[in-house]
Chain A
Amino acid sequence: MDNPARWSHFQHDADIGVRGCGPTLEAAFEQAALAMTAVMTDPRLVKAETPVRLHCEAPDAELLLVDWLNALVYATATRNTLFSRFKVSIHNHRLDATAWGEPIDAGRHQPAAEVKGATYTALKVVREADGSWCAQCVVDV
């Protein structure tokens, strides 16, 4: 594969940037979500058990990324759940997704920082020259 799906973090003074890249816009969004989970814990420690369905809509792809990540922040906070697997579909700036995860287990997950919200800082959704997609923003912790 030339452009496998992958996630990374990038530097921000106080907080942390999350970036997801993949062969499609959807894959980039899935990987950005994984990068956000990785701010809180090692995603490999989170069992992809319980599915949660999420939807959001925004005027452009960048605002949609922020809404998507904030929908996950909300689901984490209100369901006390961490997520490690994502399936995203996007049509006409509407996102429908399923996220799989499990309840937070402080002993096993050793959650570090809580993500308070996704921000518009360093917010970018771009199609690279090789046709792959990358989606990124800073999250407030």
Chain B
Amino acid sequence: MDTTRLQRISDFEWRIPRHDAMRVPGVIFGSRALIEDMDDKVAEQVTNVATLPGIVSASYAMPDAHWGYGFAIGGVAAFDPDAGGVVSAGGVGFDISCGVRTLNTGLQREAIEARQGPLADALFAAIPAGLGSTGGIHLDDPGLNAMLRGGALWAVEQGWGDARDLERIEEHGCMSGADPAAVSAQARHRQRNEMGTLGSGNHYLEVQAVSRIFDSDTAAVFGLQEGDVLVSIHCGSRGLGHQIGTEYLKLMLLAAQRHGIALPERELACAPIDSDTGRAYLGAMRAGINCALANRQILTHLVREVFARLYPGAVLQLLYDVSHNTCKVETHEVDGRPRRLFVHRKGATRAFGPGHPELPEVFRQSGQPVLIGGSMGTASYILCGNASSESLSFASACHGAGRAMSRRKAYKTWHGRQVIDSLREQGIIVRSPSSRGVAEEAPGAYKDVASVVNATDHAGLARKVAELKPVVCIKG
């Protein structure tokens, strides 16, 4: 992106001044180098979002932003229902509530390294991964409705996990306002065999070791020390979420037309929050969030079963579960007064700062854990929400590295076997059903996650707490 078209606010904050149909300015966070690497499409998409009715303060892009659908991936935008604000399926994304959850195993790196191969094999056997893989849980319609209403709370009630997990999940594991009736028969059908599956593409399950602590006080609150072994799960709402996204995108195209909303491009399809289509989408999307929370809860149970076999007595405690494709109702202070807003985060993580009333007691003083997945073979990071993120970006931070190279080019550049062997030399075991999938997800195909995380920290969106290095990676 050409930075001369942007107003530099600070080393890590750049502004697109309001022009033409924009209702608010655009704000892009990132170092000059990160922004120069971004596609011009990011600025175009940030600008387009700024034209939507009811948008408040600014249209934001996080330091890992890249060209998405309508909204940039890494985009954040808040809408006020009392000012004609809209909700957009494209502003949430197809993989509703895709996110990361991290468990602390209570084990040390040495213990894992001693049995690294058997652990990789056992996890790969237990976790259904890849296109066409099916889970062991098949829900009938009443069961599906209960799951869509209950989320991780439902999963815990079914015996997958522990009630103590719930306070360490956003929304305490159960998104309220879900409306299973707004989820079509097709979306239900797509989920029939996909409960408790990881999916494919950039989704993964990783065993990681804490390699560095940046903020020892916050690390102590999060229960992290150098050498600790964690398990992180990155996946979303599977076929059900994808189908909801697909169907409502189409419905919103019609709704926008009906409500006279001018769309700069079709992918920005949206409906007034206060409309039949808007309400139906919100009900379905919240059901999709619960599906993702239930799915990650079931996968957590499968991981715990594996660890119980290999490391009897190990207790895997949930550190936190974040979703990075959502629209949530939150209260934020705008121009000195609290306003109830519908905050879209697409490829962006909520980052509530210290003292936020929605945080569980354990994180009330520190702020919320912000879990940032790297790519296979590179570091992941744990950050923490800052007080400053509230005024900067409606309490939002980055979500990952972002691709630097297309899948096709990656597949032509590397062989899966070669990637697996070279990671093995670095002490990382990769297991995947697809060698082509591994090549497409090669570490070199992604941007440098460290520079994204550093920019997030310097911009004040969230502060760095710990760096994690992968030990075992199960790739979908």
Binding site for B on A (CB under 8 A): 9, 11-16, 39-41, 63, 66-67, 70, 73-74, 77-78, 80, 103-104, 106, 110-114, 116-121, 123, 138, 140-141
Q: Is B131 a contact of A114 with CB atoms below 8 Å?
A: yes
Given A16-B408, A120-B267, residue A112 in contact with residue B200 (CB < 8 A): yes
> Which residues of B sit under 8 angstroms from A138, Cβ to Cβ?
69
Q: Is A116 a contact of B94 with CB atoms below 8 Å?
A: yes
13 contacts between A and B (CB under 8 A): A12-B406, A77-B239, A77-B242, A78-B190, A80-B134, A80-B193, A106-B132, A106-B434, A111-B130, A112-B436, A112-B437, A120-B253, A140-B93
Interface size on B, residues (CB 8 A): 52
Contact code string B206-220 (vs A, CB < 8 Å = 1, else 0): 000000000000000
- Using A16-B406, A113-B131, A140-B69 as known contacts, list a sample of 11 further A-B pairs with CB atoms less than 8 Å apart, ordered by residue number in A: A13-B73, A14-B68, A40-B131, A74-B190, A106-B130, A112-B407, A112-B437, A120-B70, A121-B267, A140-B94, A141-B201
Q: Is A120 a contact of B94 with CB atoms below 8 Å?
A: no
Name A139's closest neighbour in chain B (CB-CB). B94
- B352: interface (CB < 8 Å): no
Of B66, B186, B267, B434, the residue contacting A112 (CB under 8 A) is: B434
> Which residues of B sit under 8 angstroms from A114, Cβ to Cβ?
131, 199-201, 476
> Which residues of A sit under 8 angstroms from B436, Cβ to Cβ?
41, 110-112
Q: Is B131 a contact of A12 with CB atoms below 8 Å?
A: no
- List residues 34-78 of chain B with CB under 8 A from any CB of chain A: 39, 41, 66-70, 73
> Which residues of A sit under 8 angstroms from B39, Cβ to Cβ?
13
Q: Is B199 a contact of A16 with CB atoms below 8 Å?
A: no
A124 CB to nearest chain B CB (Å): 12
Closest 3 interchain pairs by CB? A104-B132, A111-B131, A13-B66
Name B95's closest neighbour in chain A (CB-CB). A116
How many angstroms between the C-alpha atoms of A138 and B267 in the bound complex?
11
Contact code string B127-156 (vs A, CB < 8 Å = 1, else 0): 000111110000000000000000000000
> Which residues of B sit under 8 angstroms from A119, Cβ to Cβ?
69, 94, 249, 267
> Which residues of B sit under 8 angstroms from A116, Cβ to Cβ?
94-95, 242, 245
> Which residues of A sit under 8 angstroms from B408, Cβ to Cβ?
9, 11, 16
Q: Is A16 a contact of B186 with CB atoms below 8 Å?
A: no
Q: Is A13 a contact of B94 with CB atoms below 8 Å?
A: no
How many angstroms between the C-alpha atoms of A101 and B471 in the bound complex?
38
Name A70's closest neighbour in chain B (CB-CB). B246
Name B131's closest neighbour in chain A (CB-CB). A111
A60 CB to nearest chain B CB (Å): 11
- B192: interface (CB < 8 Å): yes
> Which residues of A sit under 8 angstroms from B246, Cβ to Cβ?
70, 73, 117-118
Q: Is B200 a contact of A113 with CB atoms below 8 Å?
A: yes
How many angstroms between the C-alpha atoms of A138 and B41 in the bound complex?
14
Among A63, A66, A119, residue most surrounded by chain B Cβ atoms (within 10 Å): A119
Q: Is B67 a contact of A117 with CB atoms below 8 Å?
A: no
Of A13, A40, A74, A120, the residue contacting B402 (CB under 8 A) is: A13
Name B190's closest neighbour in chain A (CB-CB). A77
